[in-house]
């Protein structure tokens, strides 16, 4: 009997497997020690270790008749898009859209701060990625994990692992990535700007119930491909706002979100196998993901500066708030509020920042839907 028959896992271990186990340990370290998106990075890190022990039975092996558990989860939850869509229901149930009604114009930043997605998509094609791969890489900039997973799964399933890792890791790095970009693009005077917000404005229940329904119908009529994304988000929100499903709303916000996040994280790890992950492309994807994030932030800030040229004095927007147009909610809003208070302690930017951040959540989902519509349409 040979050693490889007795200890196949040890005999089959390569340097690539060891690199991936190191990646898994790093993700677990970031989750526990740095508190970076622990709900996702910890399951992903542990899953990466599980998936990179040679002949691991959590993955389907060639000579086995039993399917590996991670492959079963993947086929059931990711390939079918069920897990990310369930996460959208949970997110929808968590979002309060009423801040948007205080100053609806801030919704436009949810569009401007998607700029980096498209710039990155163009850039990625110069690195030799196909248009489908480039679009999937660009969407990392949306700072929206479920949207990134859905787009990558449809357009470039072979890149799903690195794209998911990049999307969730960078979401956690918003407090590190955004402030230097914002400081670079704004003057001290601009950062000190105060914004008037109508915090006393109340929104009727009918309005809050009508909003998710109307948005779903309109989005569906214009871009039906966006319906799974926007529809499930708005369904979750309708459960929250209708007032007769409080128990379901709480379940969606807590139990559903927790359970699906747990399964999503560990299942994504099945795409982090050494042969697929340890490649030069992965480094490009991680780099381009940062680029998308930076340009999304810049897009929001510069759009605010542009808008200020046309807005009356009392309606001007602090350009820092434009950076909240990304989807990382509520982290981005908190970061901007913190930056505002650091410059000028009595300057409370939280409400406009939250409004913009909510707009960013809608914007990222719309961009996901548009990419799913436009790329196959033009690329054939």
List interacting residues with another protein (CB under 8 A): 100-101, 104-105, 107-108, 110-112, 114-115, 117-119, 121-122, 124-126, 129-131, 134-135, 202-204, 206-207, 210-211, 214-215, 218-219, 222-223, 359, 362-363, 366-367, 370-371, 374-375, 378-379
Q: Is the CB of 74 or the CB of 211 nearer to another protein?
A: 211
Q: Is the CB of 198 or the CB of 255 nearer to another protein?
A: 198
Q: Is the CB of 42 or the CB of 117 nearer to another protein?
A: 117
My answer on whether omega of the bond before 206 falls inside 30° of 0, hence cis, is no
Q: Is the CB of 21 or the CB of 142 nearer to another protein?
A: 142
Whole-angstrom distance, CA of residue 353 vs CA of residue 103: 11
Q: Minimum distance between the CB of residue 119 and another protein, rounded to whole angstroms?
A: 7
Neighbouring CB atoms inside 10 A of 311's CB total: 12
Q: Is the CB of 80 or the CB of 199 nearer to another protein?
A: 199
Cβ(275)–Cβ(101) below 8 Å: no
Q: Is the CB of 122 or the CB of 176 nearer to another protein?
A: 122
Helix, strand, or coil here: 196?
A: coil
Rg of the chain, C-alpha, whole Å: 22
Cβ(268)–Cβ(164) below 8 Å: yes
Phi, psi of 152 (to 5 degrees): -65, -40
Q: Minimum distance between the CB of residue 90 and another protein, rounded to whole angstroms?
A: 22
Helices 227-241 and 82-94 pack at an angle, to 10 degrees, of: 40
For every residue of 83-132, which 3-state class applies, written as one string? Answer: HHHHHHHHHHHHCCCHHHHHCHHHHHHHHHCCHHHHHHHHHHHHCCCCHH
Q: Minimum distance between the CB of residue 105 and another protein, rounded to whole angstroms?
A: 7
Q: Minimum distance between the CB of residue 366 and another protein, rounded to whole angstroms?
A: 5
Whole-angstrom distance, CA of residue 121 vs CA of residue 103: 31
Q: Is the CB of 114 or the CB of 237 nearer to another protein?
A: 114
Reading the block at residue 223, the tokens are 């871009």
Cβ(109)–Cβ(300) below 8 Å: yes
Q: Minimum distance between the CB of residue 193 and another protein, rounded to whole angstroms?
A: 22
Q: Minimum distance between the CB of residue 110 and another protein, rounded to whole angstroms?
A: 6
Q: Minimum distance between the CB of residue 302 and another protein, rounded to whole angstroms?
A: 13
């Amino acid at each position: 009997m040979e050693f490889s028959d007795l200890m196949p896992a040890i005999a089959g271990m390569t340097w690539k497997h060891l690199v991936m186990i190191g990646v898994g340990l790093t993700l677990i370290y970031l989750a526990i020690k740095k508190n970076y998106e622990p709900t996702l990075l910890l399951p992903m890190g542990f899953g990466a270790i599980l998936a990179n022990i040679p002949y691991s039975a959590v993955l389907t092996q060639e000579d086995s008749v039993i399917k590996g558990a991670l492959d079963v989860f993947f086929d059931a939850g990711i390939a079918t898009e069920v897990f990310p869509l369930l996460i959208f229901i949970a997110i929808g149930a968590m979002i309060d859209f009423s801040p948007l009604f205080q100053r609806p114009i801030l919704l436009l930043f949810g569009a401007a701060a998607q700029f980096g997605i498209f710039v990155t998509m163009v850039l990625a094609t110069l690195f030799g990625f196909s248009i489908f791969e480039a679009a999937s890489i660009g969407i990392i900039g949306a700072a929206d994990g479920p949207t990134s997973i859905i787009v990558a799964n449809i357009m470039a399933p072979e890149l799903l692992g690195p794209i998911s890792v990049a999307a969730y890791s960078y979401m956690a790095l918003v407090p590190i990535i955004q402030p230097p970009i914002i400081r670079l693009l704004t003057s001290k005077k601009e950062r000190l700007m105060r914004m008037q917000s109508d915090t006393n404005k109340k929104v009727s229940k009918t309005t809050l119930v009508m909003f998710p329904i109307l948005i779903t119908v309109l989005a569906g009529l214009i871009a039906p491909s966006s319906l799974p994304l926007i529809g499930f988000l708005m369904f979750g929100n309708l459960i929250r706002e209708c007032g007769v499903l409080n128990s379901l709303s709480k379940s969606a916000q807590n139990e559903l979100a927790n359970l699906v996040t747990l399964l999503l994280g560990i299942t994504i790890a099945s795409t982090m196998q050494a042969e697929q992950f340890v490649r030069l492309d992965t480094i490009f994807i991680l780099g381009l993901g940062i680029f998308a994030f930076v340009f999304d932030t810049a897009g929001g800030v510069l759009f605010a500066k542009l808008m200020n040229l046309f807005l009356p004095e009392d309606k001007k927007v602090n350009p820092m708030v434009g950076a909240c147009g990304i989807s990382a909610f509520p982290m981005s809003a908190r970061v901007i509020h913190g930056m505002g208070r650091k410059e000028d302690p009595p300057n409370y930017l939280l409400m406009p920042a939250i409004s913009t951040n909510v707009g960013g959540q809608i914007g990222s989902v719309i961009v996901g839907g548009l990419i799913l519509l436009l790329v196959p349409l033009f690329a054939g």
